[in-house]
Amino acid sequence: MKKSFLLNMGPSHPAMHGVIRLVLELDGERVLGAEAEIGYLHRGFEKQAENDVWNNVIPYTDRLNYVSPLLNNVGYCLAVEKLMKLELPERCQVLRTIACELSRITDHLTCVGASAMELGAFTPFLYLMKAREELYFCIDRLTGARVTTSYTRIGGVKADMPPDFPERVVAAFRVLRESVKDTEALLTRNRIFVDRLKGVGVLDKETALAYGVTGPLLRSAGVPYDVRRARPYLVYDRLDFEVPVGTTGDNLDRYLVRLAEIEQSLRIVEQCFDRLPPGPVAVPDAQLLDAGLMADLGKRGKTGHIFDARAGTDPVLEGSGEAEKPLIAADQPDSVLPPKEEVYNSIEGLMRHFEIVMPSRGIVPPPGEAYAAVEGGNGELGFHVVSDGRSRPWRVRVRPPCFFNMAVLHKLLVGSTVADVVATFGSINMIAGELDR
Amino acid sequence: MSSFWVDALWSAVKVLGAVGFGMGLAGILSWVERKQSALLQDRIGANRADILGYRLLGLFHMLADPIKLLVKEDFVPPQGQRFWHDLAPGLSLACATLCLAALPFGDSFELFGRSWSLRPLPMGAGVVFVLASLSVGVHGIAMAGWSSASAYSLLGGLRGAAQMISYEVAMLSILAAPLFLYGTLDLAEAVRWQARTLWGFLPAWGLLLQPLAFLLFLTAGAAETKRAPFDLPEGEAEIVGYFVEYSGMKFAMFMTTDFVESVVLAGLTTALFLGGWHLPGLGLLGLPQPLFALAGVGVFAAKVVAVLWLLMQIRWTLPRFRYDQLLALGWKGLLPLSLLNFAATAWVVWGWTR
Amino acid sequence: MKDPKALLGVLRDAIGLGVTALSGAGDDAVLSVEQASIRRALEVLKAQGFNVLVDLTCVDYLGYGKDERPAPPSHPYLPQRWASPPKPPHRFKLVYRLLDLDAASGLERGRITVALWVFDERGGPSVRDLWPNADWLEREVWDLFGIGFTGRGDLRRILLYPEFVGHPLRKDYPIDRRQPLIGPKEAPRPEEGGDLRPAP
């Protein structure tokens, strides 16, 4: 009589993918059954979102899928903008697209790097981390932070991009392409690596669809479903990119799909830079004043000096002058911050600024509910927001793609060995922040 | 002085020299590992330890690490068995160090009317001795796995034991071919056999005469000593292995065993395939006999270092094998290939000697 | 593209007045269904081709539309204040989000959302035999809202620990409530028969 024993891959374990507990039923080295216990990183995002104004929920969304924070930012804002029926200007949409794709690249780099390291290939991990560092530097220049970006605002983005951003990103992409090429040289045709991943953790189409799995897992199983293609948002319907699809749905296909998606994301960002609408146009006869100086003069009552001046805001600080504002935010006075000239020049502008920014006020969407989905790093990342006409959300529900990927994990693990558990688990790209919220 | 005491003193000198060589290289290997991996991975590596402000490229880490590990708590899991837990690393290290005794560091030389051997323990069947010592080392692994009361270390220990046993069989089978060619089990004789030249200029090293055996032996040796890409039993980041419950100096002893076994493997490879202490042009220097023999020791050391460098490069390039793939490689890959190699060698030798 | 009105017709044929309303249009259409006919409605929809359960969640409408603060006078430069929304029929609304995905082309053939109003913890019937991911989704709804699902065993918490008291996403659970402290427990020992599996 075979007696199986239970092995606990407990919440703290060396395989680095966040806190999760896997209870494996083993017969020797074979896995007979697996059960995942999640919730170790449950921080109450949805409850907290009901307790804070609409714009202040955005920093909480950073912490959901913390390796691709910009995707969460964009997803939440798209849902609320759908509720409020806001139209975004073209430049703002392109900036959001660039941000999304940069985040997607960091997500895939982290996933591939970490799972390579868990399999013993230490060097490709560090090559990909070097590439990711370059991207984090770019994201830092754009948003002000590497990971907790909070780049989008409801109705627009925080600020325009700095003028040297395209060159910086192009330089980063050069390093990135080289690192990814080195990694591919070390791994993709490496017999040991391929043997570790091929045929392991196979997910077939029917199971994937039954479990609501989306993203690279579904695409590696052979279904070419990508939210960017099926329900285009932002500017994706005008961009030319491919959706890589695998065939067998094993770990190797997931690895290859993710690498291919990195290349496609690079293409998307390059196309976005080509079709970026022109930047702010200077008003020729207005004097350019630094916005801080403008505020100073306004506080001292010297409004005559600032009446005709144009605010020179730093591109990466929040808020914009009159020239930048129509490019980065929707034309809705009660939902987006007014330009600095109005804020420092008129009482109405000041009132509007504070009404939007103060924690007890904030923007107010109409009552109702809306659902918007973006293509996250792991699949369809959906936000369902319910409003009751007040300044705080009534309900914010995140449809986390990792949740469904983890729900199907127990099926992938049956029949593999303990060593395969680590490989499969790594290829699912479970991010505890998104799984548990 | 009577011959017995001279012999005893010389043996003591050789043993200390060999152990010093092994342990010293093991220490340097820990530094090399950090620096070589750093070079490969485009980073700097450990460079913080300094004495009086001199960093010396991080070499003081070799001193800092043992000090750190010595002062750590000696922890035995509450359900574990203390005796076996303590014995396991000692046994592993002892067996690994014992193998150093058979390595042929240099040729024998004549001085003061008697012949001095440069092998720590002159024996007629060095190869067998080394393999036997490595076999006893398996006990250390199994003991470590059992005595730490943890499912993970148990699985890791059993895995490690099974892996080592499979690859010992493979190693012996691979070595059958070159040993057949050299006609001896004695390592020093094997080196002397390789000192001849083929066609006037090529040294008759095992690398050139038995290339397949060389590759197979390196593979099997790396698997035997659980070096990457065969380090599944000790795959730390992945599925913790048999020394998960070890800390402090006992853990350091396991790590040292790893490095000393690498030195032994490199020494064995050098002796059997790379010509040992023999360097083609060394005789042209016209050194007197004793100095010539000592220069041979230097050549041997250099070759060992070269093989170790190669093993390190492989470690940081390739991912790990999965356990069943590892065993399949040993039994279904290396073993049949080695038998084919042996058959081919035997056929060629028979044809040559006719 | 599946037309929501056509689906409404199909459901009316199947369950009659069990489907009470259709709101929204296109991909955002919402069908409201009665508690008694929800199982049949979902079976019909699955038979219509909705092979993916995208999401299953709940919204608690306790206190919806009651604005404690008096509305400030409207001003041209201040954010608009909205009139009070209509009072919802029951306290909880379960939202089933379904997707018809064509596996060959990867295109969506239609999306529909089914809203089920429940007024207490009896919730609705489980659909984990129709869509297996409903297993975890229903456990999450139970965990955070306390809405039960009939027809399935093993309804236990998924995100919170077993000793948690209450259902936090309900509106009557204050955000700053403290939970009773639980001390450390002995880890179960499998070799003595302890069970490593997560407790209910």
Residue A101 — very low, low, confident or very high, per pLDDT cuts 50/70/90?
very high
A176 and A238 both lie in a single domain: yes
Residue B57, token pair as written in the block: 């490229």
| Distance in angstroms (rounded) separating the CA atoms of residues A112 and A122 | 12
Residue A122 — very low, low, confident or very high, per pLDDT cuts 50/70/90?
confident
The number of helix segments (H) and strand segments (E) in chain A equals 20, 10
pLDDT at B214 over 70: yes
Q: Which DSSP helix (H) or strand (E) runs through B230? A: none
Give the count of beta carbons closer than 10 Å to the beta carbon of residue B286.
7
- Is the Cβ–Cβ distance between C171 and C62 less than 8 Å? yes
Alpha carbon of B182: minimum distance to chain A alpha carbons (Å): 34
- Is A239 within the bounds of a domain? yes
Contacts of A210 in chain C (CB under 8 A): 51-52, 131-133
A375 and A331 both lie in a single domain: no
Give the pLDDT score at C53: 92
Cβ distance of B155 and A419 shorter than 8 Å: no
Residues A177-198: what's their mean pLDDT?
89
pLDDT tens per residue, range B32-89: 888 888 888 888 888 887 777 777 787 888 888 888 888 988 888 888 788 888 889 9
The set of chains that have 3 or more CB pairs under 8 A with A is B, C
Cβ distance of A384 and C82 shorter than 8 Å: no
CA dihedral B155, B158, B164, B166 (to 10 degrees): -110
Give the pLDDT score at C191: 65
Contacts of C169 in chain A (CB under 8 A): 46-47
Give the pLDDT score at A374: 94
Which residues form the domain of B276?
3-352
Cβ distance of C103 and A222 shorter than 8 Å: yes
Q: What is the tally of structural domains in chain A?
A: 2
Give the pLDDT score at A177: 94
Contacts of A420 in chain B (CB under 8 A): 322
> Which DSSP string do the residues of A111-173 spell out, in sequence order?
HHHHHHHHTT-HHHHHHHHHHHHHHHHHHHHHHS-SS----EETTEESSPPPTTHHHHHHHHH
Residue C189 — very low, low, confident or very high, per pLDDT cuts 50/70/90?
low
Give this prediction's pTM.
0.88
Residue A399 is nearest to which of C55, C59, C196, comparing CB atoms? Answer: C55
Nearest-5° Cα angle at B291, B287 to B293: 105
Q: Is A48 within 8 Å of chain C by CB?
A: yes
A105 and A148 both lie in a single domain: yes
Cβ distance of C79 and A335 shorter than 8 Å: yes
pLDDT tens per residue, range A243-284: 999 988 899 999 999 999 999 999 999 999 998 888 766 555
Q: Tell which A residues from 50 to 69 touch C, by Cβ distance under 8 Å.
A: 50-51
- Is A89 within the bounds of a domain? yes
Q: Is A297 within 8 Å of chain C by CB?
A: no
- Is A28 within the bounds of a domain? no
pLDDT tens per residue, range B130-146: 889 988 988 888 888 88
Per the prediction, chain B carries an average pLDDT of: 84
pLDDT at A400 over 90: yes
Residue B40 is nearest to which of A123, A195, A423, comparing CB atoms? Answer: A123
Residues A134-141: what's their mean pLDDT?
92
Cβ distance of A403 and C197 shorter than 8 Å: no
Give the pLDDT score at A321: 76
| Distance in angstroms (rounded) separating the CA atoms of residues A257 and A242 | 11
Query: Which of A86, A226, A397, A430 to mutate against chain C (most C CBs within 10 Å)?
Result: A397
Give the pLDDT score at A78: 94
pLDDT tens per residue, range C76-132: 655 567 777 788 888 899 999 999 988 888 788 888 888 888 877 777 888 888 999
A146 and A295 both lie in a single domain: no
The set of chains that have 3 or more CB pairs under 8 A with B is A
Cβ distance of A127 and B318 shorter than 8 Å: no
Cβ distance of A212 and C133 shorter than 8 Å: yes
SS3 C111: strand
Q: Which DSSP helix (H) or strand (E) runs through B98? A: helix B82-99
Contacts of C113 in chain A (CB under 8 A): 371
- Is the Cβ–Cβ distance between A244 and A256 less than 8 Å? yes
| Distance in angstroms (rounded) separating the CA atoms of residues A244 and A248 | 13
Q: Is A156 within 8 Å of chain C by CB?
A: no
The set of chains that have 3 or more CB pairs under 8 A with C is A
- Is A414 within the bounds of a domain? no
Contacts of C84 in chain A (CB under 8 A): 389
Q: Is A408 within 8 Å of chain C by CB?
A: yes
- Is A163 within the bounds of a domain? yes
pLDDT at B1 over 70: no
Residues A178-201: what's their mean pLDDT?
89
Whether the ipTM is more than 0.95: the answer is: no
Cβ distance of A51 and C175 shorter than 8 Å: yes
A231 and A323 both lie in a single domain: no
Searching chain A, which residue's CA lies closest to the CA of residue B325? A195
A217 and A267 both lie in a single domain: yes
- Is A341 within the bounds of a domain? yes
Q: Tell which C residues from 50 to 109 touch A, by Cβ distance under 8 Å.
A: 51-55, 57, 59-60, 64-65, 67, 76-85, 95, 97, 101, 103-108
* C-alpha to C-alpha distances, A53 to A147, A148, A313, C124, nearest whole angstrom: 22, 18, 26, 32
A271 and A292 both lie in a single domain: no
* C-alpha to C-alpha distances, C109 to C21, C29, C113, nearest whole angstrom: 22, 14, 14
Residue B284 — very low, low, confident or very high, per pLDDT cuts 50/70/90?
low
Alpha carbon of A117: minimum distance to chain B alpha carbons (Å): 8
Give the pLDDT score at A107: 94
Of the two residues C34 and A129, the one the predictor is more confident about is A129
Q: Is A335 within 8 Å of chain C by CB?
A: yes
Q: What is the tally of structural domains in chain B?
A: 1
- Is the Cβ–Cβ distance between B144 and B88 less than 8 Å? yes
Residue A418 is nearest to which of B155, B231, B320, comparing CB atoms? Answer: B155
Residue C197 — very low, low, confident or very high, per pLDDT cuts 50/70/90?
low
Residue B283 — very low, low, confident or very high, per pLDDT cuts 50/70/90?
low
Q: Which domains does chain C have, with CATH numbers?
A: 4-63+88-178 (3.30.460.80)
Residue B20, token pair as written in the block: 């010093």
A381 and A347 both lie in a single domain: no
The CATH number of whichever domain residue A156 belongs to comes to 1.10.645.10
A269 and A305 both lie in a single domain: no
Cβ distance of A119 and B151 shorter than 8 Å: no
Residue A433, token pair as written in the block: 């922040």
Cβ distance of A42 and C83 shorter than 8 Å: no
For the ranges A9-13, A86-90, A171-175, the lowest mean pLDDT is seen at A9-13
Tokens 């991080």 correspond to: B58
Which residues form the domain of A236?
55-277+370-399
Searching chain A, which residue's CA lies closest to the CA of residue C157? A39
- Is A430 within the bounds of a domain? no
Residues A399-404: what's their mean pLDDT?
93
Searching chain B, which residue's CA lies closest to the CA of residue A424? B238
A271 and A334 both lie in a single domain: no
Contacts of A46 in chain C (CB under 8 A): 144, 169
Residue A66, token pair as written in the block: 């913390």
pLDDT at C35 over 60: yes
Alpha carbon of C85: minimum distance to chain A alpha carbons (Å): 6
Q: Is C169 within 8 Å of chain A by CB?
A: yes
Cβ distance of C132 and A363 shorter than 8 Å: no
| Distance in angstroms (rounded) separating the CA atoms of residues B68 and B60 | 12
Give the pLDDT score at A265: 93
Which amino acid is located at A100 in the chain? C
Cβ distance of C77 and A348 shorter than 8 Å: yes
Contacts of A187 in chain B (CB under 8 A): 319
- Is the Cβ–Cβ distance between C138 and C152 less than 8 Å? yes
A327 and A185 both lie in a single domain: no
Q: What is the share, in percent, of chain B residues with pLDDT greater than 70?
A: 96
pLDDT tens per residue, range A37-46: 898 999 999 9
Give the pLDDT score at A386: 93
Query: Which of A22, A51, A225 to mutate against chain C (most C CBs within 10 Å)?
Result: A225
A249 and A129 both lie in a single domain: yes
Give the pLDDT score at A49: 92
Query: Which of B34, B153, B238 to mutate against chain A (most A CBs within 10 Å)?
Result: B238
Contacts of A121 in chain B (CB under 8 A): 317-320
Cβ distance of B323 and A16 shorter than 8 Å: no
Chain B residues at the A interface, defined by Cβ less than 8 Å, are 37, 40-43, 151-152, 155, 228-229, 231-232, 235-240, 316-325
Residue A57 — very low, low, confident or very high, per pLDDT cuts 50/70/90?
very high
Q: Which of A360, A365, A395 is nearest to C64 (CA)?
A: A395
